Amino acid sequence: MNISKLEFDTEARPTIAKRIAESLRDAIVSLDLKPGDAISESDIAARFGVSRQPVREAFIQLAEQGLLRIRPQRSTEVVRISIRDVLNARFVREALEVAVVRKAAAECANMPADTFEDLFREQMAASDANDYRAFHARDDAFHRLIAKLSGNEFVWKLIDAQKVQMDRVRYLSLKLGMPATIREHRDIGEAILSGNPDLAEAQMRKHLRKIDTQIHQIRDLNREYFQEE
């Protein structure tokens, strides 16, 4: 037996800071922590039963993702949703997703026709059950799968980073348009499997740009969560 190539995952033990960051991110995206809320290092530290240091590192990370605004000596607050920032994130995400979906469509030769079927079925089930969490998880999984099929799964990390800016809007739109989303995913999937990059690109752009119109409705219904601009 050749043992020389054995390795185990050295990143397996996440630090407290990372866990805190993840937990806070979930809380922010799910609007458990509301836009505009002020939080402090010591407050969160006490709530988690840890010291300020790892919390501080989590804050810094979330601030870089644009979810927190750290004002030294003043406060740290959950940033309000900015239409501008959401659209900027959408622009970047679109550029990236178009690139990968085109590649996926171009290299579809050896893909089985039922590549997406499991995902679609699960997502429809989630939709019928009004299980938003599962629905969104499957939504992400679909987009991630496309990146993987294109041979550029690493791009998902960036798409995901952009997505956080859009996730709160998506959360607020909840019941709006779950069936429509599934239909759009089907269109994208078919375009990929038919090996048509141009069509896949068009469908993807159409899918992603729906947020441009949705966001204004969402803001009008949730003014207090949005930045005045």
Partner DNA sequence: TGCGGGAAACTGGTATGGAAGTATACATGT
Partner DNA sequence: ACATGTATACTTCCATACCAGTTTCCCGCA
Q: How distant is the alpha carbon of residue 11 from its chain centre?
A: 22
Please tell me whether residue 164 binds its own copies under the rule CB under 8 A.
no
Q: CB-wise, 114 or 154, nearer to its own copies?
A: 154
- Segment contacting DNA (CB under 7 A): 69-77, 79-87, 170-178, 183-191? 69-77
Residue 159 binding target from its own copies, DNA, none, CB below 5 to 8 Å by type: none
Please tell me whether residue 27 binds DNA under the rule CB under 7 A.
no
Please tell me whether residue 99 binds its own copies under the rule CB under 8 A.
yes
How far apart CA 76 and CA 88 sit, in angstroms, is 23
Shortest reach from residue 6's CB to its own copies, in Å? 15
How far apart CA 77 and CA 67 sit, in angstroms, is 9
- Residue in 3, 154, 223, 229 binding its own copies, rule: CB under 8 A: 154
Neighbouring residues of 130: CB distance < 8 A, sequence distance ≥ 6: 175
Q: CB-wise, 57 or 122, nearer to DNA?
A: 57
Neighbouring residues of 55: CB distance < 8 A, sequence distance ≥ 6: 17, 20, 41, 44, 45, 48
Q: CB-wise, 95 or 180, nearer to its own copies?
A: 95
Contacts 24+ apart (CB under 8 A), 10-18: 15/54, 16/50, 16/54, 17/53, 17/54, 17/55, 17/57, 17/58, 17/61, 18/58
Strand partners, 76: 39, 70
- DSSP, res 34: P
How far apart CA 87 and CA 99 sit, in angstroms, is 18
Q: CB-wise, 151 or 179, nearer to its own copies?
A: 151
Under rule CB under 8 A, which residues in 20-39 are in contact with its own copies? none
Please tell me whether residue 71 binds DNA under the rule CB under 7 A.
yes
Neighbouring residues of 153: CB distance < 8 A, sequence distance ≥ 6: 144, 147
Q: CB-wise, 40 or 227, nearer to DNA?
A: 40
Please tell me whether residue 42 binds DNA under the rule CB under 7 A.
yes
Residue numbers of the site for its own copies (CB under 8 A)?
10, 13, 15, 53, 57, 60-61, 64, 71-72, 88, 91-92, 94-96, 98-99, 152, 154-155, 158
Q: Interface with DNA by CB under 7 A: which residues?
A: 15-17, 39-43, 50-54, 56-57, 59-60, 70-76
